[in-house]
Homo-oligomer: A and B are copies of this chain.
Amino acid sequence: MKLYKNPPIDSWKEIFKRPSSDLTPWEKRISPIIKDVQENGDQALYQLTKQFDKCQLQDLRVSKQEIEVSESLIGTNLKDAIWRAKRNIFNFHSQQKMNNYSLEVEEGVTCWQKKIPIEKVGLYIPGGSAPLFSTLLMLGIPATIAGVQNITVATPPLKNGTIHPAILFVAKILGINNIYKIGGAQAIAAMAYGTETISKVDKIFGPGNNYVNFAKLLVSTQGTAIDMAAGPSEVAIIADESANPAFLAADLLSQAEHGADSQVVLIATTEEIINKTKQQLTRQMQLLPRKKIMESALEKSVFVLASSIEDAFDMANFYASEHLILAINDAQKWSQKVVNAGSVFVGHLSPESAGDYASGTNHVLPTGGHVRADEGISVDSFMKKISFQKISPLGLSSLGPTIELLADVEGLHAHKQAVSIRLNSFLEK
């Protein structure tokens, strides 16, 4: 843990520096996997799953039977919790379905914009130690609201060849049937290029480890769209004297448990809060199972004493974190000052966990400062806008000469000609 007291603005770049992610070494590891899947299809997937997941699959695809029985393999409490999270996420995301619009720009010149769902999407759901069924809620719900017809899910199998029933139960209630037992770079390659069993998709979504993230970057330079460049998860907290150090420590730890490379930042306006939070971190960590991971993450954590609440917001906007918690008085009023963040948790009783699971907002968010220009998953992520225009004889007679002149000045004479030849046809009649 490093503590900086009232750091001058020209030191912020160094203080809030993130570890750089160099693609080069990963490219050497991942390119052969992608090539293997492109060349050998399903056969490569069976072999790579044996190699990386220690699992000899009988079938790549999850059977109808497996999806059907998932419901009986998990408790009623969990099912109820999943339904409640689903309802909240669905209701929040339903508001995002923007209407199409049409405008008669000039007399006889009508332009309109339509939002159309992407035809085929692939959702990557990390498995292994933690079965991240919540991520399937976060991706599957906006995909179905958007109206995507063809949803493929890839998730790594356990050694015994099964998928956690909570993941399958979520797929079931969302009506998703194309689920494949593959993980890592091979899953990304299979969805990007297709195999005998798995259809090529137009866009790949979802978080993952370095293999998954770099494989997504590689396929994105070769024609398959991806949701975002993903990296280590991160949280920044702004705290004033009203903050509860026990809550702050719990929030920092919930970020730190994601991995040793998690980014954890506390910006406080009093040194007392920082000191008490440190004590709480040590105390709470003792009682939690992922202590080692949290300790590693906290080693690189940053604590900053800010000279004012305004200063704290300037720093948080500069850092531009995936998650931002406002543990301050009048948090809602101050939240107006946020310009760079993925998801913001307003006030002392809004932990990041709420948005991670069940309040309704999405938890798939850009990291690494990408929130400056990018955003979390929404219904829009699963749609594309297409513009249309229709011009009448009157419209072309009126606007045509303007188009001709503009094309002429840009030296694009065939562009001009496409208008002239139509205008001349009016004269011939």
Contacts and interface: CB of A to CB of B under 8 A. Distances in A.
Given A254-B415, A284-B414, A290-B413, 6 more contacts: A88-B105, A134-B406, A221-B221, A225-B373, A352-B418, A357-B402
A186 interface: no
A9 interface: no
Contact of A414 (B96, B253, B385): B253
A332 B388 CA distance: 9
Interface residues of A, number: 125
B95 A418 contact: no
Interface in A168-198: none
Nearest to A257: B414
A403 B353 contact: yes
Contacts of A134: 406, 410
A359 interface: yes
Nearest to A94: B103
A362 B389 CA distance: 11
A378 B113 CA distance: 10
A225 to B, nearest CB: 4
Given A116-B339, A387-B362, A353 B418 contact: yes
Contacts of A413: 257, 288-290
Given A111-B359, A354-B391, A412 B257 contact: yes
A34 interface: no
A389 B402 contact: no
Instruction: Name the 9 nearest CB pairs between A and B, nearest first.
Output: A225-B373, A203-B373, A351-B418, A346-B390, A250-B418, A257-B414, A253-B414, A361-B387, A105-B360
Contacts of A385: 375-376, 378
A386 B416 contact: no
A289 B416 CA distance: 12
28 contacts: A81-B406, A95-B103, A96-B113, A119-B372, A129-B411, A134-B410, A224-B373, A225-B374, A246-B421, A250-B421, A253-B418, A254-B417, A284-B414, A288-B413, A288-B414, A331-B390, A343-B388, A349-B393, A349-B422, A351-B418, A354-B391, A354-B403, A354-B419, A356-B407, A358-B406, A359-B391, A376-B385, A378-B385
Given A294-B414, A376-B387, A119 B339 contact: yes
A419 B257 contact: no
Interface of A: 23, 77-78, 80-82, 84-85, 88, 91-92, 95-96, 98, 101, 103, 105-106, 109, 111, 113, 116, 118-119, 129-134, 166, 202-203, 217, 221, 223-225, 229, 244, 246-247, 250-251, 253-254, 256-258, 284, 288-290, 294, 331-332, 335, 338-362, 368-376, 378, 380, 384-393, 395-396, 399, 402-403, 405-407, 409-419, 421-422, 425
Contacts of A119: 339-340, 372
A219 to B, nearest CB: 12
A353 B425 CA distance: 17
A91 B103 contact: yes
Contact of A361 (B258, B389, B417): B389
A359 B399 contact: yes
